[in-house]
Amino acid sequence: MSIETPHDCKQCSLYYDPENFCACLSSNELTDLNKKSRTVKMKRNESFTDDALLQWPIVAISSGVLSLQHILEDGRKSIAALFTRGDIVDLRSISNRNRGSLIALGASEVCRLSPAVFERIVADNPSASRIVWDNLREQTFRAIDHSVDLAKKQALEKLASFIFECSHRDLDQSKNRSKVNIPIRRIDLAEYIGMQPETVSRCFRDLEEKGIIEFEKLSALTIKNIPALRRIANGDKVLSEAHMPTRLDMKILSFG
């Protein structure tokens, strides 16, 4: 006999976003998973204890941004990866916890999934299995791209790549890729792409002065010239360094 979907699951993006894990589960599967899992609201800089990760090592992000951070002996911080809404982070079989800590970069909500129920659902539900593998594949590709950005790209190129990363990962902007939300603070962005916060601000200003982007507010921008931004992200040194018409220049030309 079918069971009604748990009320708190109906309010969760992992259920109502069509491409997320819980959206493809039956009411019975959702109820089983809900009983053995835990929903957690996190504040900025909160992290999971080792005991919590041992019991619930699979974390699904329903809102906000979590980061995988490494803290060096001298206090320097490195953000190795970002996880946003819909991501499933599987930390099972990690023998060395010094590989990083999951830390919230702002108000976030996550679901700590029961490994036993999760495994059973993935084994029995082909749609759920596909979503898990697709999510893992995307995380792998992002890690590869991020390593290239850190190793080879200059500051402006890194920032351009990050803007496209935000655009591709924003589930609410699937119909308009020119509108981009920046989901993290600039100080965290600097740690993620290996720059100083002042350099991040300068590069944003440079892109805006060149007419490539336009800020609507501090955390939201519009890409005005997608091909130009793409060329910069792909390492076009000539375009990165060349002067392009500013928005003021374009307004003057339009009257001519």
The whole model's pTM is what? 0.84
Give the DSSP per-residue string, 105-125. SSSEEEEEE-HHHHHHHHHH-
Rg (CA), the chain: 21
Count of C-beta atoms within a 10 Å radius of residue 11? 11
**Contact at 8 Å (CB) between 71 and 77?**
yes
Report CA-CA distances (Å) from 119 to 29, 97, 125: 12, 22, 10
pLDDT tens-digit series, residues 149-208: 999 899 999 999 999 999 988 866 556 778 999 999 999 999 999 999 999 999 999 999
In percent, the amount of the chain with pLDDT more than 90 equals 62
* 214: CB partners within 8 A, 6+ apart: 208, 221, 222, 224, 247
Q: Going from the N-terminus, what domains does the chain have, and what CATH number goes with each?
A: 7-144 (2.60.120.10), 153-255 (1.10.10.10)
* Strand duo 220-223 + 88-90: pairing: unpaired
What per-residue confidence (pLDDT) applies to 97? 53
From 65, 143, 73, 62, select the one nearest 102 (Cα to Cα): 65
33-58 pLDDT tens trace:
999 999 999 999 999 887 788 888 99
- What is the distance between the alpha carbons of residues 5 and 202, in angstroms, rounded to a whole number? 49
Mapped onto helix, strand or coil, the DSSP state of residue 4 is: coil
| pLDDT for res 98 | 57
The torsion angles phi and psi of 109, rounded to 5 degrees, stand at -135, 130
